[in-house]
Amino acid sequence: MEEGKISWGIAPIGWRNDDIPEIGAENTLQHLLSDIVVAGFQGTEVGGFFPEPKVLNKELELRNLKIAGQWFSSFLIRDGVEEVSKAFHKHCEYLQEVHGDVAVVSEQTYSIQGLNSNVFSEKPYFTDEEWVKLCRGLNELGKIAKQYNLKLVYHHHMGTGIQTIEEVDRLMESTDSNYVHLLYDTGHIYVSDGDYISLLHKHMDRIKHVHFKDVRKDVMDQCKKSGKSFLHSFLSGMFTVPGDGCIDFVKVYKQLLDTNYQGWIVIEAEQDPSVAHPLEYALMARKYIDEKLIQKEGNRLVRN
Ligand SMILES: O=C1C[C@@H](O)[C@H](O)[C@@H](O)C1=O
Ligand SMILES: [Co+2]
């Protein structure tokens, strides 16, 4: 990533979803990457179906695309830092080989994000001892990431122990800012707290990676009312690309520019690809970015 710039990416999640690997399984890596070029993005994140670094790098180079980062499910509370570190070293090695910038970490101990539980009312909570174990563990993982020239960015997520603004506040207070950074995901914090601006204001200095995920409020309300799981909520269309839901990305983007954010903004809108055509939605996102965000901000902007 170039110094002083915002890079725009789009995640594979609109084409294929690691949380439900069956959906979109017909979309190959080559198809996904070529769609990303057609839609005018500079890069993507690593999906669970991505190949070994040599093969991936070849496909990326052919299309002049970059890797922003990759998700890592940590089980620090369940397994302890020693065990988790082994898998995290491998994760970072892979990311280094594909020239990624961030390791996206989410603590999955007690997570209900992949279960058939009500994601709006059954999230887990950590005890004080578990908080200590988690935060110490994250500091250690952050040090490992640094050895590979990566930043550990923590992903707050629906259905997990770090979901709400209060929980993000506590995580930021209890971890070392040299090693643990924050991923700001507009969709997750909005569905959790009904507010996506406070987190941005409070933790701008820690935010080193951004996911732009929009929310269809009517669908969210319906999913909440019927007590749907996380997976069934997104399959019902709770999430979409920026400009197609209720989040004001102009406000968010302005704040990012005002505070001189440097790094990736990755469009991440999980939907069922058989319902929401992935390239069509990627193009919609790009149009919205160009017309409502970049043009609006004029020459303050930052697109390669
Ligand atoms: O960053 C993310 C990665 C996905 O696997 C996750 O479920 C999604 O909601 C998300 O925000
Ligand atoms: Co996300």
pLDDT of residue 297: 61
Give yes or no for residue 181 CB within 6 A of ligand 1.
no
User: Residue 105 CA to chain centroid, in angstroms?
Assistant: 9
Residue 83 contacts residue 49 (beta carbons within 8 Å): no
pLDDT over 80 (residue 112): yes
Integer Cα distance of 141 and 116 in angstroms: 30
Which DSSP string do the residues of 16-45 spell out, in sequence order?
-BTTBTTTTTT--HHHHHHHHHHTT-SEEE
Residue 295 contacts residue 239 (beta carbons within 8 Å): no
Residue 303: which pLDDT band, with cuts at 50, 70 and 90? very low
261 CA distance to ligand 1 middle (Å): 22
Integer Cα distance of 69 and 103 in angstroms: 6
Residue 295: which pLDDT band, with cuts at 50, 70 and 90? confident
Of 221, 300, 208, nearest in space to 262 by CA: 208
Residue-wise pLDDT for 67-107, tens only, equals 999 999 999 999 999 999 999 999 999 999 999 999 999 99
**What is the model's pTM?**
0.96
Mind listing the domains of the chain with CATH numbers?
6-300 (3.20.20.150)
For residue 229, give the H/E element and its range. Answer: none
Helices of type H across 41-182? 53-63, 76-79, 81-97, 128-147, 165-174
Using the atom order of ligand 1, give the atom closest to the CA of residue 183: 1
Average pLDDT, integer, range 202-213: 98
Mutate to test the pocket of ligand 1, among 16, 18, 119, 157 (most ligand atoms within 8 A of CB): 157
**Residue 115 Ramachandran class (φ > 0 left, ψ -120 to 50 alpha, else beta):** beta
Q: For the chain, what is the mean pLDDT?
A: 96
Mutate to test the pocket of ligand 1, among 13, 113, 247, 266 (most ligand atoms within 8 A of CB): 13
Average pLDDT, integer, range 188-202: 98
Mutate to test the pocket of ligand 1, among 19, 49, 272 (most ligand atoms within 8 A of CB): 19
Give yes or no for residue 45 CB within 6 A of ligand 1.
no
| DSSP SS3 for 105 | strand
What ipTM goes with this model?
A: 0.98
